[in-house]
Structure formats: C-alpha cells, structure tokens
Homo-oligomer: A and B are copies of this chain.
Amino acid sequence: MPSPHPAAWAGAIEQALKGALILPENRCFTLVRRPEGMPVDADFALVTQDAPELQDGQFLLRNHYASLDPAMRGWMDDKPSYFPPIPLGHPIPASTIGVVAASRNDDFPVGSWVAGFGAIEEYTLHRKGSGRKIDRGLLPVVTNYLSIASGVGPTAYFALLDIGKPLAGETVLVTGAAGAVGSLVGQIAKLKGCRTVGIAGGARKCERLLRDYGYDAAIDYKGKSPEELVAAIREAAPDGVDIQFENVGGAILDAGLMTLNDKARVVLCGLISQYNCDPLPTKNLWQLIVKGARIEGFILTQYISRLGEAVPELTSWVREGKLRIDEHIEEGIENALPAFLKLFEGTNDGKMILKLV
C-alpha cells in the first residue's frame, strides 16, 4: 500500500492520542531466511504491520531515509557478534532519519526531525531515551546527518584517531578508500598532516580519490596480482605504511601487510570482501611479528559514550568545507535489497542511503 504523507496523518494521530489511536500501516523490510552467501530476494519479505500503539514517553518516527551499511550483512547471520542475530520475521535494523509522526514524549514533538536507530521500515516506535533531535541548521542537507551523526562519521573518526593514532608525516593506507568510511578516513588523515594512499576498484573511483578526497596516491586493485599490488603500494608509499585502514580484507589486507613499517597499526574496520563468502587466506600475518605491528578491530558500540567528541568536530569540518560527503541515494523500500547489494558490487558512489518517503 502507498504510505500516507506524514503531515497528512500526523495531525490525525495527535488527535487520536486523546482517545483510541488510529495508527498507520507500516511497511517493513524483514528477514525471513538467513542468507547463504550473497543475499537474494527470497531471504526477505516486504510485509505490512500495524504500527504499534504509543505508550507514555514514546514517539513514532516516520523514517524518511535509512542508512545501508555492509555491517548489516553480519547481523543477518546466526553467529556470535556484537549484538544478537536479527530474529527471522523482524525488520532489518538500520540508522534512520525522519519526522516525528505521533508522540507521547514532549521532547520529540510531532513534526520534528529525529535521527535514531530503527529499521528499514516506514515507521519506527522509539521508546524513552531513544532518538536524537536533528538541528536542521547545522548541515547543508538533511541526509548528511546519516553520514556524520550515525555510524559512518564517528566510525571513520574514532577508528582512525583512536585506534590508528596518526602522527603528522606518517603514511596512511586506506582500503575501500572511495567508500563511505574510507573517503572520510582519507580526508581526516590529510587534516592530521598524513600522506594518504587509497586503494579502490576501477579508474573512476581512483579519480575520485585524487580529485574529491585529496588522496596523495590512488591504486586500482583490479587486474593486479598480489605481487603487483604490493609493488604498487610500495611505489605509492616509499617510506612504508604506518597505518593501514582496512575495510576490505582478503588479498588487499594481505598486500598491505607486506608494506608495514615497524610498529605499524592496522585498523580493522571492515572485511567487506568476505561478508558473503569464505575469506581468502590471510597469508601474511607473520608480518605482524617481524614488524612488531598490530591489527586492531574497531566497533562503534564501544564508543557510544564518546559520540559527543566526534559529531561536533565532523560537523564543523563539513560546514567549513574541509570534509566532503558524498551520498548515493536509492529510492523506495521495495528497492532495499538491490540498493544494499550495490555495496558489495562496489557500484555505489558515496554513502548508500535508502529514501523511504
């Protein structure tokens, strides 16, 4: 069913709060089967649920945009992770931004823009303590809040600065360098005075690395043997690599390991090459020993209490024109899967966002 325009029914809801609620129907993109390898249509169902009834302190968010991130693939598996596997039949969790459609919480009045952790669904019920109001004046376009204030921005910020600890003059190698996180990491590393080398797939992305994100060197991994990739990194990073910011894994991680300096830090932020298949062998872990280097995993959930450090600085950088944000917006909840798969095909140009209304 077509979703009602939020403004049209928000008032009705507010009225209804006094008596019996007349709540909208809610289309949800749900997981119905655990994917084997690359997710396919039959793993999901678009179902219509009744929107839940509001209790005191709750509000209903009409989701306008949902963030699509590679990490979601992991949530679909039944493996021990940083939060429980998505139960079958449940909507796919996602960071969203939207407009409050109904509210029994005075802090979140109807009509206000809110960012929250919800799901790929038209409406999300937020309980007391959930959601953050968006100050529309701070960022040029509203979707930027998904890039800066949800997962991607703070991930790039803390993973690079807190795990990588870049020093001016060091060389930072970024894999998946044209991706949502990688493009921010390259720019933040430049702001910190580092030399940046980006690896991406294809000439067009490599052009973006140099032109849009200020990378000092760009390497197209496509068509290169492992040895050629190592040689290309060595050429682009003649003083060796001090920080490898890893988003990809497999052969690309392995090539970078061969170029590390003593005491180098590999920030393990993502392993997108292996979310849908068995990982390629990582053969070069021995380089960690001979260089006294380390691989350290980054998970944003361990930084929730420190988000207040990242978001204002990221916001300032965007306002001052120091940080470029590219977003790739696909439309319609019915396109959730093809949009999500573009992340693994590498055919997105910037942070992948699904427009829901």
Contact = CB atoms under 8 A, between A and B. Distances in A.
A166 interface: no
Contact of A291 (B258, B294, B299): B299
B290 A81 contact: yes
A321 interface: no
Given A281-B280, A285-B279, A286-B274, A294 B292 contact: no
Interface stretch (A58-66, A96-104, A262-270, A346-354): A262-270
A117 interface: no
Interface string A167-210: 00000000000000000000000000000000000000000000
Contacts of A285: 249, 268, 271, 279, 282, 295
A295 to B, nearest CB: 5
A299 B289 contact: yes
A35 interface: no
B302 A297 contact: no
Given A282-B279, A285-B295, A302 B82 contact: no
A296 B81 CA distance: 21
Given A288-B295, A295-B296, 19 more contacts: A80-B258, A80-B290, A81-B290, A82-B291, A262-B302, A269-B289, A270-B289, A271-B286, A274-B286, A279-B281, A280-B281, A281-B281, A281-B282, A288-B297, A289-B299, A291-B297, A292-B299, A294-B294, A294-B297
Given A80-B258, A258-B80, A292 B283 contact: no
A160 to B, nearest CB: 15
Contacts of A262: 302
Contacts of A279: 281-283, 285
Interface of A: 74, 80-82, 249, 258, 262-263, 268-271, 274, 278-283, 285-299, 302
Contacts of A293: 296-297
A280 B292 CA distance: 22
Given A279-B281, A288-B268, A296 B299 contact: no
Contacts of A268: 285, 288-289
A270 B268 CA distance: 21
Contacts of A82: 290-291
14 contacts: A263-B302, A268-B288, A278-B283, A279-B282, A282-B282, A282-B285, A288-B295, A288-B296, A289-B298, A289-B299, A292-B299, A294-B294, A294-B295, A294-B296
A268 B295 CA distance: 10
Contacts of A269: 289
Nearest to A71: B289
Contacts of A299: 289-292
